Structure 1
Amino acid sequence: MPTEFSVFLTADKLLAKGERPSLRNVRAALDKGGSPREVCKHLRAWRKKRGYSARHEPTDLPKDMKEASQILAMDLWKRAKREATQKFVREREEATALRREEAQDREHLLGMIETLQAENAVLKAKGVAADQDGERLQTRLAKVENQLERLRAEEFWDRVMQEIHDIIPDGSAMTPAEILPEIKTWTVRGAALHKEPLTPGVLKKKMDVRIKHGKYFEAQPQGRYGRRTA
C-alpha cells in the first residue's frame, strides 16, 4: 500500500521532469504500484498542498517558461526530499533516545528486581528463624503450663487432704467411702475440673501418698484412716 510520502515524491518527480502527474503516471512510477483508490487519495492531497490543477496545466509553453516551471518543480521536489530527510533524521534520533531511555528504565527495573529478590531472601530467612523461635517458645510454654498445672493440682489436693483431716473426728477413724459424703460440693466439682473425679478409690490413693510422706493421716485397721498426731 503506497504511503502519502511516496506518492508526494513521485508526483514531484514527474512534475520536475515536465511530465503530467496523473493517476496513471504516478501509479506507473511507484515501485509497487498501488490501488487506484489509495493513490488517488494521496494524489488529491498532493494537488491541494501544491496548489496544482490539471485543468489549468498549460499544454504548450514557451521554452523559458517551461524551463522555469521545471526548475520550480525540481526545487519543490528537492525541498520535499530535504524535509523528508530531516523528518527521518528527527524520527531516528527520537527513536534512538527512546531506546536509550527504555534501556535505562529496563536496567533500573532489573536493579529493583534484584534488590527485591535479595530483600525477599532476607525476609524468608528471618521468617524461618522466627518460625523456629516460635516452635521453641511453644515448647517452653507447654512445659511451663504443665508445671503450673501440676502445682495447681498439688495445691488443690493438699486443700482436699486438709479438709478430710478436719472431717475425721479426733481419736476416731473413717473409710474413704464414709469420708466422701462429708466433702464439700465445690471440692467435688474442683476434683472433676482437675480430671480426677472424687471416688473412694481416688481418696484412698491420695491419702496413702500422704501417709507415705508422713502427712495428715495414719493407717488404721479395716481400711480406715485416722488423723496423724503431731
Structure 2
Amino acid sequence: MLPAPKGAPMPSESLVFHVADALLARGERPSLRKMRESLPNGGSPREVCKHLRAWRKKRGYDPKLEPTDMSKAMKAAGQALAMDLWKQAKREATQAFSREREAAAAMATDDKHDREHLLGLIETLQAENAALVARAGAAETETSRVLARLQKVEYQLDRFRAEEFWDRVMQEIAEVLVERGPLTPTEILPELRAVTLRGATLHKEPLTPGTLKKKMDVRVSFGRYFEPRDEGRYARRAG
C-alpha cells in the first residue's frame, strides 16, 4: 500500500473497527500492514495504530486459540479413563502452548514490522527536513549575494546621478560667469536657479560655497569650464 495521497481523509475509528472485524472474520490477523492495505486510502500509520489499539482493547483481542476445557470431562470420566484424560489434557495443553507461542511470535513480527515502518517514515521525514534546511541555507546565501550586488548597483547609480547633477550645476555656473564675469563661489550661489537649489537636497553634499569651490577646482584641474582669477574668483574658460 502506497502512502495516502496528500489531502486524503484520515480513516475514522468506526472505519478501522469495521475493517479489523472483517479481517478477523476472514481468519486474517488485523496488523497495521493488513489494515492499511484494506483501508480505502491507506491512512496515516499513526492514526491507524491509534484506532487499532482501541479496537484491540474494546474487542479484547487475543490471537491465541482457547484450549479445550477439559475440567468437566475429567470430572465425569471414571477412574479407568483418568490416565488417558490426563495424557490427552497434557497433549492439548502442549498444543495450546505451541499455538500461543506461535501467535505471540506472529504478533511480535507484526509489531516489529509496524515499528520498522514507522522508523522508516521518521528517517524519510528527517531526510526531507535536512534537504529543506540545506535549500533554505542556499537560498539565504543567494539572497545575501543578490542584496550585495543590488547595494553595489544602487551605490553606483547614486554616484552617477550625483556626477550628472553636479555637471549640470557646473554648466549653469559657466553660463552665469559668461553674463556676470568672474565671481567667487559665495557670489555665484545666489545666482543659481531655485530648481537647482532644490535638486541639491537629493544628494549627500550640500550646495554651499565650499562645495561649489571644491567642484569647480576639480573642473579647473581637468581644464574644463573654469579658470581661476584673483581674490578667489572664477571666470568662464575660453573655448
TM-score norm. by structure 2 comes to 0.56
Task: Report the counterpart of residue 56 of structure 2 in structure 1.
Answer: none
Paired with 1:186 and 1:172, the residues of 2 have a C-alpha distance of 23
- Residues 132-147 of structure 1 correspond to what in structure 2 (within 5 A)? 132-147=141-156
Instruction: Measure how far apart 1:194 and its partner are.
Output: 0.6
Paired with 2:196 and 2:94, the residues of 1 have a C-alpha distance of 105
Task: Report the counterpart of residue 119 of structure 1 in structure 2.
Answer: 128
Paired with 1:186 and 1:92, the residues of 2 have a C-alpha distance of 99
Instruction: Tell which deviates more after alignment, 165-174 or 200-209.
Output: 165-174
* Residues 191 and 197 in structure 1, CA contact (< 8 A), matched pair in contact too: yes
Paired with 1:117 and 1:214, the residues of 2 have a C-alpha distance of 70
Are residue 211 (structure 1) and residue 220 (structure 2) matched? Answer: yes
Task: Report the counterpart of residue 200 of structure 1 in structure 2.
Answer: 209
TM-score norm. by structure 1 comes to 0.58
Paired with 2:100 and 2:152, the residues of 1 have a C-alpha distance of 76
Instruction: Measure how far apart 1:153 and its partner are.
Output: 0.6
Task: Report the counterpart of residue 160 of structure 1 in structure 2.
Answer: 169
Instruction: Measure how far apart 1:140 and its partner are.
Output: 2.1
- The change in CA–CA distance for 1:100 and 1:11 in structure 2 (over 3 A counts) is closer
* Residues 176 and 224 in structure 1, CA contact (< 8 A), matched pair in contact too: yes
Paired with 2:99 and 2:197, the residues of 1 have a C-alpha distance of 98
Q: Structure 2 counterpart of 1:138, which letter?
A: L
Q: Select 1:105's aligned residue among 93, 99, 114.
A: 114
Paired with 1:192 and 1:171, the residues of 2 have a C-alpha distance of 26
* Residues 170 and 227 in structure 1, CA contact (< 8 A), matched pair in contact too: no
| Higher Rg of the two aligned structures | 1
Aligned-partner SS, 1:226: strand
Aligned-partner SS, 2:207: coil
Instruction: Measure how far apart 1:11 and its partner are.
Output: 8.1
Instruction: Measure how far apart 1:96 and its partner are.
Output: 4.5
Task: Report the counterpart of residue 194 of structure 2 in structure 1.
Answer: 185
Paired with 2:157 and 2:201, the residues of 1 have a C-alpha distance of 18
- Residues 5-56 of structure 1 show CA distances to partners (whole Å, capped at 9, x for unaligned) of xxxx798489648xxxxxxxxxxxxxxxxxxxxxxxxxxxxxxxxxxxxxxx
